[in-house]
Amino acid sequence: MKKLMLVLAAVMFVSYPQSFAFSDSYISQPASDPMVADPNGKITLNEVELSMIDHKALVYLVRGTVQILKKDATVWAKLSIGDIISEGDQIKTGKDSLVELYYDKFHLNHARIDAGTFASFDSIEPTSINMMEGNLFNMLGGIPKGSAYEISTPKAVASVRGTRFSLGYDPANQTEKTSVLNGTVQVLPYVDAEKRISAEKYSVVNAEEALDVNHDPLHSDKADQSKPHKMESTEKEALEKSMEDAKTNLIVATGGTEEYGKSLQAWARVMDDDEKISMIKASLQEHGKAHMKTQDIPFVKKEEIEASQPAQKQATDVVVSSAVVDSDPDTKLQDSLVGAIETTAGDSDE
C-alpha cells in the first residue's frame, strides 16, 4: 500500500504546479503537531488525526460576501479565512461569492459553498448539512467506512460515502438537482409531510449522471418520476472546472503540492494503524446516531450500482463506485483516495 501511495502522490505532484498566481489570501498550516492522549490513556492521536473527529471545518478561501451565524449568536458576522465552522452554524453567501473549507487536516474532504447559498451545518464528522437554497460542491476522498456525508434540502436527502458531486436547490421552483462526477450518490426523497425518508425509496446516481427531484409527498399523484440521466457535456465541464478550481485552491492553501502530498502520506500511515482507525470509526459512528438522518438507512449495495449502470460504462465506472461502497481505510488505501487525488477508474488496480 505504501508503494501505491508514493506512486499516486508522485502523479499528483506532476499534475499540479508548485506555485500559483492568485489574488486570494490563504491560511497557513500550523507547524506544530502535538500528541493528544485518549482519556483512557490507551491510544494517542495527534492534532491532525483528531481533525477527523473534532466536528469542525476550517475556512481556507473566501471570495465576495460570506456571512456566518454561530450556533448561539443572534447577529450575522463576516466569515473570514481561518475561521472555524462548528455544528449548528449557518452560512450565507452573497451574489458572486463563495467559500471553501476542509473538514480534516489530511485535506481528504473539502467543499465549496457557491454563490446564493443558505445552509446550516447540523453535524460535522459525520457531516449533515441542511441546505435551504443554493449549491454545494463536495469533494470527499477519505470518509471511513461506517461514516457518511449527507445533504438535506426541502425535497430530499442525498447520502454518500466518498465521491465528487454537487447538489443544488432552487426554492423558487422547488427543485433539487444532484450531479455526480465520480462515485455514487444515494438520493432519498421525503415520503411524507414530516420529511421522513425510507430505505425502500431512493434513487442511485452514478458517475457522470444527474438527477432532478421535484417529488411532492403532499400530492403523490403529481410526484415527479424522473430518473438519473447522463449529464450534458457542458454541465460536466462546468462541474469539473468548479471542482478543479477548488482543488487547486486547496493545494495552494496547504503550501503547494509537496506539503499536500505529505498530508496524504500521513493518512496512509494512519490507515495502517488498526487501533487509531478503530477509534476514529467508533467516534464517527457514535456521533452519527444522534445527528444523521441516514444513520439507519443502508447505503446502496454494489450489486445495485452495477445493475443500474449501462453495460458500456461498467468497465470504467464500476471500480470507482465499488470503492465508494466497499472501501475500508483499514485495508484499501487506494479506495479512500479516490476523491483526494482524483484517481480515475482506468488508472486503478482492483
Question: What CATH code would you report for 2-253?
Answer: 2.60.120.1440
Q: What is the largest CA-CA distance in the chain?
A: 59
Give tens-digit pLDDT for 131-143: 999 999 999 988 8
Give the pLDDT of residue 244.
Answer: 94
Helix or strand holding residue 204 (H, E): strand 203-205
Helix or strand holding residue 122 (H, E): strand 118-123
- Grid cell of 58 as nine digits: 476550517
**Predicted structure pTM score:** 0.77
Identify which of 59, 90, 58 has the alpha carbon closest to the alpha carbon of residue 73. 90
Instruction: Give Cα separations from 218 to 152, 190, 193 (angstroms).
Output: 18, 10, 6
| Residue 8 confidence (pLDDT) above 80 | no
Listed by start position, the domains of the chain span 2-253
> CA 270 to CA 288: how far, in whole Å?
22
Give the pLDDT of residue 297.
Answer: 78
> CA 1 to CA 25: how far, in whole Å?
35
Cell 455514487, residue? 184
**Can you tell me the mean pLDDT for 235-258?**
94
Give the pLDDT of residue 20.
Answer: 32
pLDDT band, residue 326 (cuts 50/70/90): very low
Q: Which residue has the higher pLDDT, 296 or 106?
A: 106
Give the pLDDT of residue 153.
Answer: 92
Rounded mean pLDDT of the chain? 76
Instruction: Give Cα separations from 102 to 2, 129, 195, 284 (angstroms).
Output: 24, 14, 29, 17
pLDDT band, residue 25 (cuts 50/70/90): very low
pLDDT band, residue 302 (cuts 50/70/90): low
CB 42 within 8 A of CB 272: no
pLDDT band, residue 18 (cuts 50/70/90): very low
- The identity of residue 92, as a single letter, is K
Q: Which of 83-87, 197-201, 221-225 has the lowest mean pLDDT?
A: 221-225
